[in-house]
């Protein structure tokens, strides 16, 4: 992996503490086209579609006004590649296995789980597959396949797509067939298409609540936000690029973003966020062993 060193935050004054020091010489990477991949904060499309990404960026901007990160949505695979290339200051993703691999291989550092929600199986009104009667997520997916009901996958190397594949594996089901399709698109767009064709799909709670008034879909199977089952538990973490792949300003920006999101400002933003009037996420609980930080922090 080439050791490119990119400047990834906007010019500003010498903020202290969590916002870093000596920021007066930073370049204006924030003026670049966000689509170019040089933006400061890449977020999973689920966070973007639900609206939480903007609240988290606002928490960073309030804590560190000279950073003002503009969140850009990418699937987890693309976000982790951006980290490895040193194209961003930080990334928020939700694929723990891939995140840990990235840290282990040196393509990311400082993994900090900071918020949780849950995945839902949603489908047409009336639940024609009878998934609601299932005992667990794998059994619910099995009901959809057994009934031959249409299922739409994101098929985009996202955290949601990875979790869907994991649930099919747990169900011991081959997801190939006329009843199964892929959108290759974001969570919001996949929901829209699923609603228009009467298909089931896997979605995170935040995006579904934000979009449920616009799609003809209902929750078919869920285990709850406060105590989701292992297969439906959805943990979001913030990670930074390896320090040798960004310049000193980028390292300072990444640390500031990570400290803010994993600290009180980020937790308060998560705790106060509502989608369609309902809680959609909760802060990570430090007593939950599955949330324990596994990171390298140069």
Residues 8-50 have pLDDT tens digits of 333 223 334 567 533 332 333 333 333 333 347 999 889 999 9
Residues β-bridged to residue 246 = 6
Q: Is the pLDDT of residue 270 over 70?
A: yes
Domain that residue 153 falls in? 119-221
The overall average pLDDT reported for the chain is 84
Co-location of 141 and 217 in the same domain: yes
Residue 32 has what DSSP assignment? S
> What DSSP string describes 100-138?
HHHHHTTS-EEEEEEEEEEEEEEESTT-TT-GGG-SSHH
Residue 73 belongs to a domain: yes
Residue 8 belongs to a domain: no
Q: Which helix (H) or strand (E) holds 47?
A: helix 45-50
pLDDT category at 106 given cuts 50, 70, 90 is very high
Residues 227-259 have pLDDT tens digits of 999 999 999 999 999 999 998 888 999 999 999
Residues 142-169 have pLDDT tens digits of 999 999 999 999 998 888 999 999 999 9
Over range 216-234, report the average pLDDT: 96
Co-location of 113 and 239 in the same domain: yes
Find tokens 């995006």 and name the residue.
207
pTM, full prediction: 0.83
CATH of the domain at 139: 3.40.190.10
pLDDT in the model for residue 20: 57
Q: Do residues 221 and 137 make contact, with C-beta atoms less than 8 angstroms apart?
A: yes
Residue 7 belongs to a domain: no
The tally of domains found in the chain comes to: 2
């Amino acid at each position: 992996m080439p050791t490119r060193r990119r400047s990834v935050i906007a010019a500003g004054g010498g903020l202290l503490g969590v916002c870093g020091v000596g920021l007066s010489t930073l370049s204006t990477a924030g003026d670049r086209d966000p689509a170019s991949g040089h933006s400061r904060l890449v977020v999973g499309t689920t966070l973007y579609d639900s609206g939480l990404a903007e609240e988290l960026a606002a928490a960073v901007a309030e804590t560190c006004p000279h950073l003002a990160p503009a969140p850009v949505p990418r699937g987890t695979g693309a976000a982790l590649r951006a980290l490895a290339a040193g194209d961003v200051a930080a990334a928020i993703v939700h694929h723990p296995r891939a995140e840990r691999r990235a840290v282990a291989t040196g393509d990311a550092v400082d993994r900090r789980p900071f918020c949780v929600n849950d995945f839902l199986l949603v489908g047409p009104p009336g639940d024609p597959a009878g998934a609601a009667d299932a005992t667990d997520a794998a059994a619910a997916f099995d009901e959809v396949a057994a009934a031959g009901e249409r299922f739409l996958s994101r098929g985009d190397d996202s955290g949601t797509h990875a979790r869907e594949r994991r649930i099919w594996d747990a169900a011991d089901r081959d997801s190939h067939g006329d009843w199964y399709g892929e959108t290759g698109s974001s969570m919001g767009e996949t929901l829209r298409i699923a609603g228009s064709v009467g298909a089931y799909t896997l979605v995170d709670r935040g995006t579904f609540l934000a979009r449920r008034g616009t799609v003809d879909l209902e929750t078919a199977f869920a285990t709850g936000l406060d105590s989701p089952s292992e297969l439906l538990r959805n943990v979001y973490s913030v990670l930074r690029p390896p320090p040798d792949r960004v310049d000193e300003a980028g390292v300072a920006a990444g640390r500031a973003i990570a400290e803010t999101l994993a600290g009180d400002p980020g937790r308060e933003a998560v705790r106060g966020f509502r989608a369609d009037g309902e809680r959609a996420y909760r802060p990570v609980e430090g007593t939950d062993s599955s949330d324990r930080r596994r990171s390298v922090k140069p």
